[in-house]
Amino acid sequence: MMLVIKLFSAVKDILLFAYKRPKDASIIILALLLSILFWRLNHEKNKTQEMIAKIEGLPPDTKQVVTIYRDCVVTKWRDGPTKIEYRDRYLPPEGHIEIVTKENESEKPPEVKIKDWGFTSRLGGGVVYSGKFLPLIDLKWAYWRRYSLTAGITRQFGGVGLSRHIDDFTPLKNLEILSLSGFDWNGKFHFGIGIRTNF
């Protein structure tokens, strides 16, 4: 209930600011609209590059092409004289790609191995809300595509968490949404939701 009251109070303060200082409010709104427009333009440009990689044909003497666009790996291969197939996969920041060519299979295209799951040790930090906002320090120790398992500690409690990269629908590439649950120093259970980033 207190959160709803604080939210209404914040909305009221914003509306009062816009009423009392309309020029400043219009400049802020214009800056927000321009940043959203820039993000959409950049997002569409990246999607266009990915689509070009998918629909471009292969040269006649090429069996396979692997293209990497930021966090997307597009693999195209020839399946018959005229048929070209493709597959795209997400590549997490912790992952990597290996292209393997075997000596005794020189006629076959190289094998593309995309490591999008495994164990890691990435230190991170952020903020969680559990009754109040708390700073967080955590360690990411396992990942699978956009999802990760973390162990974190706040001033109030420590525990384990599940996080997800949100770079597929926001312009922020290193930001994750996080849920953290654990016990405080007196044994009381706590649950928090927040955001984190990798250091």
Q: What is the pTM of this model?
A: 0.66
**Separation CA 80–CA 74 (nearest Å):** 19
Per-residue pLDDT in tens (0 to 9) along the chain, 199 residues: 676 777 778 788 888 888 888 888 888 888 888 887 887 787 777 777 767 766 677 777 777 888 887 788 888 887 777 777 878 888 888 888 888 888 887 677 778 888 999 999 999 999 999 988 999 999 999 999 999 999 999 999 999 999 999 887 777 778 899 999 999 989 999 999 999 999 8
Where would I find the H helices in the chain?
2-20, 22-55
Parse the chain into domains and list their residue ranges: 43-115, 118-198
Cα distances (angstroms) measured from residue 156 to each of 6, 150, 159, 180: 22, 17, 11, 12
Q: What strands, in cross-sheet order, belong to the sheet with 84-90?
A: 64-69, 72-78, 84-90
DSSP 162: E
3-state secondary structure of 187: coil
Tell me the C-alpha to C-alpha distance, in Å, between residue 52 and each of 45, 56, 57, 67.
11, 6, 9, 11
SS3 22: helix
Gap between the Cα atoms of 151 and 160, Å rounded: 4
Q: Dihedrals φ, ψ of 29, to 5°?
A: -65, -40
- CA atoms in the 13 A half-sphere facing the CB of 90: 14
